[in-house]
Protein backbone atom coordinates (compact mmCIF):
# COMPACT_ATOMS: atom_id res chain seq x y z
CA UNK A 1 0.00 0.00 0.00
CA UNK A 2 1.45 3.31 -1.05
CA UNK A 3 1.06 6.62 0.66
CA UNK A 4 -1.90 8.65 -0.43
CA UNK A 5 -2.01 12.40 -0.73
CA UNK A 6 -5.28 14.17 -0.24
CA UNK A 7 -5.72 17.62 -1.68
CA UNK A 8 -8.31 20.09 -0.55
CA UNK A 9 -10.94 21.22 -3.01
CA UNK A 10 -9.76 24.32 -4.77
CA UNK A 11 -12.07 26.84 -6.32
CA UNK A 12 -10.63 28.87 -9.15
CA UNK A 13 -12.21 31.83 -10.84
CA UNK A 14 -12.35 31.66 -14.61
CA UNK A 15 -11.56 35.36 -14.61
CA UNK A 16 -7.87 36.10 -13.99
CA UNK A 17 -6.99 39.19 -11.96
CA UNK A 18 -3.27 39.89 -12.36
CA UNK A 19 -2.12 40.00 -15.97
CA UNK A 20 1.52 41.11 -15.53
CA UNK A 21 3.33 40.15 -12.32
CA UNK A 22 6.40 42.18 -13.32
CA UNK A 23 4.52 45.48 -13.11
CA UNK A 24 2.77 44.91 -9.76
CA UNK A 25 3.12 47.64 -7.17
CA UNK A 26 2.07 46.69 -3.64
CA UNK A 27 1.47 48.48 -0.39
CA UNK A 28 -0.45 47.81 2.82
CA UNK A 29 -3.30 49.55 4.63
CA UNK A 30 -5.55 48.87 7.59
CA UNK A 31 -8.88 47.17 6.96
CA UNK A 32 -12.13 48.53 8.35
CA UNK A 33 -13.43 46.45 11.26
CA UNK A 34 -16.27 43.98 10.65
CA UNK A 35 -15.75 44.18 6.87
CA UNK A 36 -15.01 41.21 4.61
CA UNK A 37 -12.64 41.72 1.67
CA UNK A 38 -12.06 39.63 -1.46
CA UNK A 39 -8.98 39.63 -3.66
CA UNK A 40 -9.76 41.95 -6.56
CA UNK A 41 -12.16 44.22 -4.65
CA UNK A 42 -11.94 47.87 -5.63
CA UNK A 43 -11.23 49.87 -2.48
CA UNK A 44 -10.94 53.48 -1.37
CA UNK A 45 -8.02 54.53 0.79
CA UNK A 46 -8.47 57.22 3.44
CA UNK A 47 -5.89 59.81 4.45
CA UNK A 48 -5.45 57.68 7.61
CA UNK A 49 -4.43 54.65 5.45
CA UNK A 50 -7.69 52.79 6.15
CA UNK A 51 -9.51 50.79 3.46
CA UNK A 52 -13.22 50.80 2.69
CA UNK A 53 -15.16 49.27 -0.19
CA UNK A 54 -15.75 51.40 -3.25
CA UNK A 55 -19.38 52.33 -3.70
CA UNK A 56 -19.18 52.07 -7.49
CA UNK A 57 -16.79 51.59 -10.42
CA UNK A 58 -15.84 55.28 -10.40
CA UNK A 59 -14.86 55.92 -6.78
CA UNK A 60 -11.91 53.68 -5.92
CA UNK A 61 -8.17 54.00 -5.35
CA UNK A 62 -6.58 50.56 -4.99
CA UNK A 63 -7.23 46.83 -5.51
CA UNK A 64 -7.47 44.36 -2.63
CA UNK A 65 -4.70 41.75 -2.54
CA UNK A 66 -6.07 39.19 -0.08
CA UNK A 67 -9.30 37.52 1.04
CA UNK A 68 -10.17 38.48 4.62
CA UNK A 69 -13.29 37.64 6.61
CA UNK A 70 -15.10 40.29 8.65
CA UNK A 71 -13.81 38.68 11.87
CA UNK A 72 -10.24 38.64 10.55
CA UNK A 73 -10.52 42.30 9.51
CA UNK A 74 -11.67 43.25 13.01
CA UNK A 75 -8.73 41.40 14.57
CA UNK A 76 -6.29 42.85 12.04
CA UNK A 77 -7.49 46.40 12.73
CA UNK A 78 -7.25 45.83 16.50
CA UNK A 79 -3.71 44.48 16.16
CA UNK A 80 -2.59 47.08 13.62
CA UNK A 81 -2.02 44.40 10.96
CA UNK A 82 -2.38 45.78 7.46
CA UNK A 83 -3.98 44.22 4.39
CA UNK A 84 -1.96 43.97 1.15
CA UNK A 85 -3.21 46.16 -1.68
CA UNK A 86 -2.20 46.84 -5.26
CA UNK A 87 -1.72 50.42 -6.41
CA UNK A 88 -0.09 49.68 -9.75
CA UNK A 89 0.06 46.98 -12.36
CA UNK A 90 -1.92 45.36 -15.13
CA UNK A 91 -5.19 43.71 -14.09
CA UNK A 92 -8.18 42.23 -15.84
CA UNK A 93 -11.27 44.43 -15.68
CA UNK A 94 -13.25 41.17 -15.68
CA UNK A 95 -11.50 40.06 -12.48
CA UNK A 96 -12.14 43.07 -10.25
CA UNK A 97 -15.13 43.41 -7.97
CA UNK A 98 -17.06 45.68 -5.65
CA UNK A 99 -17.65 44.09 -2.25
CA UNK A 100 -17.02 40.65 -3.71
CA UNK A 101 -19.34 41.06 -6.72
CA UNK A 102 -17.65 41.08 -10.13
CA UNK A 103 -18.26 44.18 -12.20
CA UNK A 104 -20.95 44.08 -14.84
CA UNK A 105 -19.92 44.76 -18.44
CA UNK A 106 -21.62 48.18 -18.33
CA UNK A 107 -19.28 49.18 -15.44
CA UNK A 108 -16.04 48.35 -17.27
CA UNK A 109 -15.63 51.72 -19.02
CA UNK A 110 -15.93 53.76 -15.82
CA UNK A 111 -13.64 51.39 -13.89
CA UNK A 112 -11.03 51.50 -16.65
CA UNK A 113 -11.13 55.32 -16.79
CA UNK A 114 -10.64 55.55 -13.03
CA UNK A 115 -7.84 52.96 -13.24
CA UNK A 116 -5.99 55.13 -15.75
CA UNK A 117 -6.31 58.12 -13.41
CA UNK A 118 -4.98 55.88 -10.59
CA UNK A 119 -2.04 54.77 -12.79
CA UNK A 120 -3.36 51.20 -12.85
CA UNK A 121 -4.15 49.35 -16.06
CA UNK A 122 -7.45 47.46 -16.25
CA UNK A 123 -7.37 45.48 -19.48
CA UNK A 124 -10.16 43.64 -21.18
CA UNK A 125 -8.91 40.12 -21.90
* Cα(96)–Cα(93) distance, integer angstroms: 6
Q: Which range among 2-16, 30-44, 45-59, 64-78 shows the weakest confidence by mean pLDDT?
A: 2-16
pLDDT reading at 38 higher than 80: yes
* Cα(7)–Cα(28) distance, integer angstroms: 31
In the chain, which residue ranges form alpha helices assigned H by DSSP?
70-79, 108-117
* Cα(44)–Cα(58) distance, integer angstroms: 10
Residue 39 banded pLDDT, cuts 50, 70, 90: very high
pLDDT value at residue 21: 79
Across residues 99-111, what is the average pLDDT?
A: 96
27-123 CATH: 2.40.300.10
Which residue ranges make up each domain of the chain?
A: 27-123
* Cα(95)–Cα(54) distance, integer angstroms: 15
The answer to whether 63 and 95 are in contact (CB under 8 A) is: no
3-state SS assignment for residue 79:
helix
Q: Which range among 12-26, 35-49, 74-88, 105-119 shows the weakest confidence by mean pLDDT?
A: 12-26
pLDDT value at residue 16: 80
Q: Model's pTM, two decimal places?
A: 0.86
pLDDT reading at 102 higher than 90: yes
Amino acid sequence: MGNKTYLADVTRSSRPLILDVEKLRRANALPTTATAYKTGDLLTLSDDNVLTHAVDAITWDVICGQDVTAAQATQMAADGVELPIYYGGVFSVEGVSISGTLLLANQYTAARAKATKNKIELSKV
